[in-house]
Structure 1
Amino acid sequence: MGSGDTALPVTLDRSSEVPLAVQLADALRESAASGHLRGGDRLPSTRALAGRLGVSRTVTSAAYEQLHAEGWIAGRHGSGTYVTTSPPTGRPARTAVVARDAVPPDLLVLTPGVPWADGLDRAAWRRAWRAAADAPPTLYAPRGGLPEYRAAVVEHLLRHRGLAAGTESVLATGGTTAAVVELANAVLRPGDVVAMEEPGYQRAVQAFRRAGLTVVPVGVDSEGLRPAEVPAGARAVYCSPAHQYPMGSRMSASRRVELVERARAEDFLLIEDDYDGELRYDVAPLPLLVSLAPDVVAHLGTTSKILTPVLGAGWMVAPPSVTSAVLEYRDATGTRPSPAGQRVLVELARHGDLGRHLRRLRRELSERRSLLVTALRAAGIRVLGDDAGAHLVVPLPSAEDERARIAAGREHGLLLDGLRRHFTGPATAHGVTVGYAGCSREALQGALGVLVDLLWGQRG
């Protein structure tokens, strides 16, 4: 390399499928973007660089031509080739992105929101995917969801949630959070007030806030959300009446009526999150809020708790004005739920596998809950939550106590969750939420002794 040329830290991988010219262009571009090369630095000639790297001049010439076209370098007649662009000032250091959902392999997952995916019948699962893959490729995915999927949801809601809905009121969604994003952007407007149960589902809170909405927390107790605390002027109220998340209570009939009457009188939308409404063990699954007031309720359901989140399949049952606004939003943004998960659910329902799985799921989780509650109460440990779903709550006296129990759990190989992260504002309740679906029954039984010891100080 001649005098004045900038040293280049370039290494080419000849075993890679990426062409050498592309590798070289990428390396030089990264050097310029990172600041190793700056505007005004002279590069070696294509011939000199080819000799240094042991490649043909064709490779270096192609790389320089690409960077010249992008504006990173320029040639000066009789002088050489120079870098033209310096990196932006204050360029942040590149950091590794760690997946928030990653769980250390040595921890037993006892957090809420995790389904019993291991309980899926593998033969039925494979059969459903094979049948789904037999569908011919299409150029267009219906914006409301596959007709056969919407029909399967209608049948599911009638059989397992007691709701008689027409397919015209049902839309496929990508899951609860995806549906909330659509409602926040299609139905509500920036600046609108959304009343949100507190503690509650924080992904919904973030979806509302990112759409420019104002989230106002509303307290919950043993009867669910308190309607009297919904502020005047609210445009929507988000709640989980069948099994409040995360406290586990059900909304009383009187509060449901009060909430519906206010929604009609004050013209706001009730967003009903029925995330695990199929999982009831003491009585039949509770009637849906949308069955009481289909004119003011947008009902959201999902397969993520009864099957697995990887399907990315859910549904919305809502008034015509809401479904029309969501469909217009999908047209405007070019977004719509993927048909793959929809087709799998259709096949599971068509062969009766979905119904069989739900019966098995209820039986298994009911027995796990009984096992867990019996062990905790035998030690004098208080337990909150209805006989439903896949988690329970052990209340604690303070935030410090909550943090200490969760940390102690990790030290003993248990991944637990606390109430604090479910609050938008300051936590007014403290405790540990214990999920019992994300591991095997044998692992749960093996962890009972350690779990009771960790929580025993809360007895009485």
Structure 2
Amino acid sequence: MAVIDTALPVALDRTSETPLAVQLADALRASASTGHLRGGDRLPSTRALADRLGVSRTVTSAAYEQLHAEGWILGRHGSGTYVTTSPPSGRPERRAVVAGEEPPSNLLVLAPGLPWAEGLDKAAWRRAWRAASDTAPSWYAQRSGLPEYRAAIAEHLLRHRGLDAGTESVLATGGTTAAVIELAAAVLRPGDLVAIEEPGYQRAVHAFRRAGMRVVGAAVDAEGLRPDTVPDGVRAVYCSPAHQYPMGGRMSAARRVELVERARAEDFLVVEDDYDGELRYDVAPLPLLAALAPDVVAHLGTTSKILTPTLGAGWMVAPSSVTSAVLEYREVTGTRPSHAGQRVIVELARHGDLGRHLRRLRRELSERRSMLVGAFGKAGIPVLGDDAGAHLVVPLASAEDERERLASAKRRGLLLDGLGRHFARTPSTFGVAVGYAGCSREALRDSLGVLVDLLRVKPR
């Protein structure tokens, strides 16, 4: 039962495991912090306070000694004990965490960039986490990533992306955006000119700009990035050649050759974002730029789109000068990607669950895409993008049309994405990007009627 002092807001709980002296010191400290006690206020003697609270003098003496050591109170000989510190002039502000990216629960999210997380085999997921937790905690910060993770990714790249990199060439990352941040900080310099697809991945744009780079757009069309629109003097070109984000095209072989030849001649780095390169349904996954020109290409990959962002695991395969600079940056900043997600990937790969999931994922998303394309085709709705990935694009005529359809979709319970926000400068292409991985197949099927009605070509 608590004993409450009538002069001071002190409550001592004798059933608590916290010592009474600590409770008393905490209560008096809180009173001085919030203004109930102010600088110059005289405290009861240790004997008087002990009598009031019904505790031994040892308790009050210990509490006073602690507060004296912290500078909250001061004993004056022959006069008593006084509070020395007044509270801050303003009450401390409680800082709430700003709301993140979680969408409203009343909307069906059909936006690009989401994985088919519900399709993960729950038994395999639990088994991987249990096995990962059986591994002894690391005592050493392996800044390049766990060797077994790097080996698993090297095998993944060879089997699913045709890149024979070898374990020693793989660098673990926290994902593609995290890798871009590291490249900007470790390899490039403030003021460097970086070309990025327009429209393109805006998190990369912001990452480069925050690091002091000057960002310029390079045009894209149905064949991906147009190398002829990359200006002279760039230090890096960021692109997504296998499945351009967000338009969905693939860079042609001729353009790939043109880009890497320019990179070699002009000494710039090509940053290849292969965010969902494993997800192709018409042909085998396209060869990587890193396989064509490993001397000038930094290849970035992630598990966020093929598995889940929960793991925070990705990879980089780049020229040794680039990976060395990134490792040096990690050393001086004390940063590294988390080992936990890497260990889960290792276990998923070890038992064959990663490969099985990829096969199921390709089959599932291919059928979902066919369902959407078929329904849109019957309604005369045009679709852009290759038979790949987890989203498609419906072109529109104007920014106003795009805004109206997105707003109408929200009113009808759907969250879609517009092309306008994917431009670093003034948008020049408009449309709606429809993602089909982040919900159940049933929910997607049930939304078809609304989608067709929303995106149907308006009569003039």
Same-fold call, TM cutoff 0.5? yes
Secondary structure of the 1:150 match is helix
State the one-letter code of the partner of 1:235: R
Question: Counterpart of 1:435?
Answer: 435
Q: Within 2, Cα distance between the matches of 1:13 and 1:374?
A: 69
Question: Counterpart of 1:166?
Answer: 166
Change (3 A) 1:334 1:17: farther
Whether the 8 Å CA contact 1:396–1:458 is kept in 2: the answer is: no
Pairing of 1:71-150 with structure 2 (within 5 A): 78=79, 81=82, 84=85, 87=88, 94-150=94-150
Change (3 A) 1:11 1:404: farther
Q: Within 2, Cα distance between the matches of 1:54 and 1:121?
A: 59
Tell me if 1:24 matches 2:33. Answer: no
Change (3 A) 1:41 1:439: same
Question: Counterpart of 2:393?
Answer: 393
Q: Within 1, Cα distance between the matches of 2:300 and 2:61?
A: 57
Tell me if 1:341 matches 2:341. Answer: yes
State the one-letter code of the partner of 2:300: L
Question: Counterpart of 1:375?
Answer: 375
| CA displacement at 1:69 relative to structure 2 | 5.6
State the one-letter code of the partner of 1:154: A
| CA displacement at 1:179 relative to structure 2 | 1.0
Whether the 8 Å CA contact 1:25–1:66 is kept in 2: the answer is: no
Whether the 8 Å CA contact 1:237–1:270 is kept in 2: the answer is: yes
| CA displacement at 1:76 relative to structure 2 | 7.4
State the one-letter code of the partner of 2:250: R
Pairing of 1:223-302 with structure 2 (within 5 A): 223-302=223-302
Change (3 A) 1:451 1:163: same
Change (3 A) 1:62 1:210: farther
State the one-letter code of the partner of 2:390: A
Q: Within 2, Cα distance between the matches of 1:419 and 1:168?
A: 39
| CA displacement at 1:397 relative to structure 2 | 2.3
Name stretches of at least 5 consecutive residues in structure 1 with no aligned partner.
1-6
- Offset from partner CA, 1:386-433 (integer Å, 9 cap, x none): 111001112222223222222222222212222222222222222221
Whether the 8 Å CA contact 1:313–1:337 is kept in 2: the answer is: yes
State the one-letter code of the partner of 1:387: D
Whether the 8 Å CA contact 1:74–1:84 is kept in 2: the answer is: no
Whether the 8 Å CA contact 1:73–1:85 is kept in 2: the answer is: no
Q: Within 2, Cα distance between the matches of 1:45 and 1:256?
A: 79
State the one-letter code of the partner of 2:299: H
State the one-letter code of the partner of 2:312: G
| CA displacement at 1:117 relative to structure 2 | 0.7
Q: Within 2, Cα distance between the matches of 1:70 and 1:190?
A: 45
| CA displacement at 1:366 relative to structure 2 | 0.4
Secondary structure of the 1:434 match is strand
Q: Within 2, Cα distance between the matches of 1:367 and 1:276?
A: 17
- Offset from partner CA, 1:230-254 (integer Å, 9 cap, x none): 2222111111111111111111112
Change (3 A) 1:79 1:162: same
State the one-letter code of the partner of 1:305: K
Whether the 8 Å CA contact 1:282–1:387 is kept in 2: the answer is: yes
Pairing of 1:287-366 with structure 2 (within 5 A): 287-366=287-366
Question: Counterpart of 1:3?
Answer: none
| CA displacement at 1:373 relative to structure 2 | 1.4
- Offset from partner CA, 1:127-176 (integer Å, 9 cap, x none): 21122122122201322111111111111111101111122211111111
State the one-letter code of the partner of 1:140: Y
Structural RMSD (CA) = 3.2
Name stretches of at least 5 consecutive residues in structure 2 with no aligned partner.
1-6
- Offset from partner CA, 1:311-348 (integer Å, 9 cap, x none): 11111001111111111111111111122211111111
Q: Within 2, Cα distance between the matches of 1:300 and 1:205?
A: 16
Q: Within 2, Cα distance between the matches of 1:177 and 1:256?
A: 23
Secondary structure of the 1:264 match is helix
Whether the 8 Å CA contact 2:33–2:88 is kept in 1: the answer is: no
Secondary structure of the 1:168 match is helix
TM-score by length of 2: 0.87
Alignment equivalent of 1:45, drawn from 20, 43, 46: 43
**Identity of aligned pairs, percent?**
72
Change (3 A) 1:193 1:129: same
Whether the 8 Å CA contact 1:10–1:27 is kept in 2: the answer is: no
Question: Larger C-alpha radius of gyration, 1 or 2?
Answer: 2
Question: Counterpart of 1:4?
Answer: none
Tell me if 1:175 matches 2:175. Answer: yes
Q: How many residues align?
A: 448
Secondary structure of the 1:340 match is helix
Question: Counterpart of 2:3?
Answer: none
Change (3 A) 1:241 1:47: farther
Change (3 A) 1:75 1:221: farther
- Offset from partner CA, 1:194-239 (integer Å, 9 cap, x none): 1111222222222222222222222222121222222222111111
Change (3 A) 1:452 1:139: same
TM-score by length of 1: 0.87
Change (3 A) 1:47 1:229: farther
Whether the 8 Å CA contact 2:25–2:64 is kept in 1: the answer is: no
Secondary structure of the 1:454 match is helix
Change (3 A) 1:42 1:342: same
Change (3 A) 1:222 1:84: same
Q: Within 2, Cα distance between the matches of 1:92 and 1:428?
A: 47
| CA displacement at 1:84 relative to structure 2 | 4.4
State the one-letter code of the partner of 2:282: D
State the one-letter code of the partner of 2:309: P
Change (3 A) 1:83 1:422: farther
State the one-letter code of the partner of 2:43: S
Q: Within 1, Cα distance between the matches of 2:373 and 2:404?
A: 22
Secondary structure of the 1:431 match is strand
Whether the 8 Å CA contact 1:380–1:459 is kept in 2: the answer is: no
- Offset from partner CA, 1:359-404 (integer Å, 9 cap, x none): 1100000000111111122212221111110011122222232222
State the one-letter code of the partner of 1:298: A
Whether the 8 Å CA contact 1:46–1:61 is kept in 2: the answer is: no
Change (3 A) 1:213 1:73: farther
Q: Within 2, Cα distance between the matches of 1:141 and 1:203?
A: 27
Whether the 8 Å CA contact 1:45–1:80 is kept in 2: the answer is: yes
| CA displacement at 1:94 relative to structure 2 | 4.4
